Structure 1
Amino acid sequence: MKRILLTTALASFTLSVAHADECMDKAEDQTTMNNCALQAYQASDAELNRLFHEIRKRLGDDPDKRQLLRGAERTWVAFRDAECDFTASAVTGGSAYPMVYDMCLNDLTQQRIRQFQQYLACEEGDMSCPVPSAN
């Protein structure tokens, strides 16, 4: 049952990302491209949040691991935001700034999603994985 739910969530997320890519391909002005980049980031952020909550659920009642996860995520968000501020600094004040910034947010969020997916796919007994496998 968990595999079916995970597969359904992944398919829904893939459709959201495909929609965002199609949106960007069809965009005819900067405002539309900015909106497409924002939609892509929002879809990725929603998936990241879903995975974060799945990881928290798997950590159960282990307050130390849950605190470590929270701390890691807060630090990662601070890094992501600072990195995207820097990345988009070449177009600060320009009409493309929102698009460049949101594309950066999306790219880094996609990387984090892959990392969370790896945590959730760990095999039983993998000592390098902080997230218990699903039972």
Structure 2
Amino acid sequence: MHLGSLLALTPLLLFSTFVQAVDCDNATNQGDMNRCAAEQNKAADKELNALYQQITKRLKDNPDANKLLVGAQRNWVAFRDSECKFSASGVDGGSVYPLIYSNCTTDLTQQRVEAFKRYLKCEEGDLSCPVPGV
């Protein structure tokens, strides 16, 4: 094999060596637990973003409500991140910090997901609900 070809493959080989599937139900080391927590957080965030898009579509004819939603969501993200930094501050700098922080953000994101789901179930005429029904 040509040296240039071998060097070109080296990053790919190194990368594939380090990226292995993790059995999150049976994770036993801190690195795997941190990765699993990050994946759970990513999944919750993906669900939240999908619901957020559904809500913004329903608010397309109400720019004032949409503006309020954007502001509320930005404030919520800032709260979530600050709350979780505080919540994980007892282990700041430790190897468990990513797990504690991710678990916190996942829990709060899942709570926000449930709130968005309730908004999307508003019935016509429900004056306490900011999102119009379909």
Q: TM-score range by the shorter chain?
A: 0.7 to 0.9
Partner of 2:61: 61
Structural mapping, 1:32-71, within 5 Å: 32-71=32-71
Instruction: Give the TM-score, by structure 1 length.
Output: 0.81
Partner of 1:105: 105
RMSD: 1.2
Partner of 1:28: 28
Q: Look up the equivalent residue of 2:30 and give its one-letter code.
A: Q
Instruction: Give the TM-score, by structure 2 length.
Output: 0.82
Q: Which has the larger radius of gyration?
A: 2
Q: Matched residues in 2 for 1:62 and 1:122: separation?
A: 16
Report the CA distance between 1:24 and its aligned residue: 3.6
CA deviations 1:4-44 (Å, max 9, x no partner) are: xxxxxxxxxxxxxxxxxx94431010000000000000000
Report the CA distance between 1:60 and its aligned residue: 1.6
Name the stretch that deviates more: 104-113 or 54-63. 54-63
Aligned length in residues: 113
3-state SS in 1 of match to 2:87? helix
Q: Matched residues in 1 for 2:130 and 2:24: separation?
A: 37
Unpaired runs of 5+ in structure 2?
1-21
Distance 1:23 1:100, change over 3 A: farther
Looking at secondary structure, tell me which structure has more helix per residue: 1
Report the CA distance between 1:63 and its aligned residue: 1.1
1:90 aligns with 2:90: yes
Q: Look up the equivalent residue of 1:97 and give its one-letter code.
A: Y
